[in-house]
Structure 1
């Protein structure tokens, strides 16, 4: 949206003709590179650039997508679900900050945080950290300040309660838990901000790969809790960022 607004402001100031502005806006919204159609206008439409889903793509395909994005002035590129093996190949061609726990790669500089407040990412246990890091890194790349509160699950409730100030001052909270998924309900009952619940596939046999936590979170008795899919840290990070950047539309 910033690019479109800048073009319109130039027309208003008289520094850009209507025809030149029309030409700028008519540029094709994607670039076809054969195996992929890279969405160049996504940031204009949605406020965030396209993100590369790394799973099932070859390193060579990812490198070509990165180069296409960079050619179109995308300064920061997020790659999710990226294996260590693929990351090592990509790093030979494209300098990249790789986070093995979250399977996230970051190409380019991180933006300055410009959200309305702070996003808190809380986990029930240490085993939930890979999903939490995917959420936290995604939110940071989208221009948010993130506070991590890890291993604060309900099996030791005092750990969570010792962070009440941070929780109550948050703009958005992402609550990530496996097992029975109770963390989201507990946090939802303590705060006045939106809570995004992320069930994880962590747990013993009856957790059914995260389905038990998913159903618990969907049935939360606390108001203001929404739920994303099992292990979907990226989806939670995007939603939290959008909430944290909401402004009144005039």
Structure 2
């Protein structure tokens, strides 16, 4: 209750137009309403209002990037409402594993959402502009059958605001193809390598560079490829010490962690400057 309303009640009491008891009841009711509103605000802080979804709007503050929508088994309506809520709160949206049918519904409803049909990814950027995180990521696919996974990584990097390049179809069956790209490999800060079958390519790439190589096994291959498990096990046993491994077909996860690495490196000089400034002040 603001001062003007309280003053009005007191005037009514002084003029005999309102009893003290009635005025007390009105003041009590107003205080309870204000308290309820404050509690509701605290409970909903950082949480989006989407039916059936507890949207984590605080994740960007905690983790550096907004919540990502995993689209399988979600309706187009739920995905669209979630993206709209993020957009209303000043956050870019990324939705993975989106079918063409769902994408058609969502892009018709939300202006500015783009769909990559190879990656099966929807992306809604806030504004057009250049990269916001320094550094370069090189995305490599062993064969054209691995492109969907590589493109999922590319869309994630675009969403994060990271400069990227792509090299396609340089698997180990034609080693000269990779050897011709060594200068580009060494110019990158992080590499993402998607490969199926026996999954040998990340180890070869790792032997050329001094930066992290994030290997992504794909579910490409005949029977004993076991849906990417053979590539996964091969990559986990890589003799190249700089090779890290994501889950099968997880181009998003590889790119997200590449972004986290670059973002952290960007923060280190800023943190050093703050520490030095605090030491000087002390």
Shorter-normalised TM-score: what interval? 0.7 to 0.9
Give the structure 2 partner of residue 73 of structure 1. Answer: 90
Give the structure 2 partner of residue 31 of structure 1. Answer: 48
Would you say the 8 A contact 2:134–2:163 is kept in 1? no
Would you say the 8 A contact 1:102–1:131 is kept in 2? yes
Of 190, 193, 196 in structure 2, the residue corresponding to residue 172 of structure 1 is 190
Give the structure 1 partner of residue 161 of structure 2. Answer: 143
The structure showing larger relative contact order (alpha-carbon pairs under 8 Å, at least 6 residues apart) is 1
* Secondary structure of residue in 1 paired with 2:122: strand
Of 204, 221, 234 in structure 1, the residue corresponding to residue 222 of structure 2 is 204
CA distance in 2, matches of 1:201, 1:111: 34
Would you say the 8 A contact 1:116–1:171 is kept in 2? no
Of 78, 82, 85 in structure 1, the residue corresponding to residue 101 of structure 2 is 85
CA distance in 2, matches of 1:173, 1:51: 22
Give the structure 1 partner of residue 62 of structure 2. Answer: 45
Q: Deviations over 1:35-88 (max 9, x none)?
A: 0011111111111111111111101111111221122122x2111111000011
Give the structure 2 partner of residue 133 of structure 1. Answer: 151
Long gaps (5+) in structure 2: 1-41, 273-282
Asked if 1:59 corresponds to 2:76, the answer is: yes
Q: Deviations over 1:170-228 (max 9, x none)?
A: 10000110000000100011100000000000011111110110000000000111001
Give the structure 2 partner of residue 17 of structure 1. Answer: none
Give the structure 1 partner of residue 241 of structure 2. Answer: 223
Give the structure 1 partner of residue 134 of structure 2. Answer: 116
Q: Larger helix proportion, structure 1 or 2?
A: 2
Find the structure with the greater CA-based Rg.
Answer: 2
* Secondary structure of residue in 2 paired with 1:106: strand
* Secondary structure of residue in 2 paired with 1:117: strand
Q: Shift in Å at residue 110 of structure 1?
A: 5.1
Give the structure 1 partner of residue 10 of structure 2. Answer: none
Give the structure 2 partner of residue 245 of structure 1. Answer: 263
Root-mean-square deviation (Å) = 1.6
CA distance 1:169–1:83, shift in 2 (3 Å) = same
Would you say the 8 A contact 2:140–2:150 is kept in 1? yes
* Secondary structure of residue in 2 paired with 1:92: helix
Query: Aligned residue pairs: how many?
Result: 225
- Give the stretch that moved more between structures: 86-95 or 170-179: 86-95
- Give the stretch that moved more between structures: 104-113 or 124-133: 104-113
CA distance 1:210–1:111, shift in 2 (3 Å) = farther
CA distance in 1, matches of 2:169, 2:176: 11
Give the structure 2 partner of residue 190 of structure 1. Answer: 208
Would you say the 8 A contact 1:53–1:81 is kept in 2? yes
Q: Shift in Å at residue 116 of structure 1?
A: 3.1
Q: Taking structure 2 as the reference length, what is the TM-score of the superposition? A: 0.77
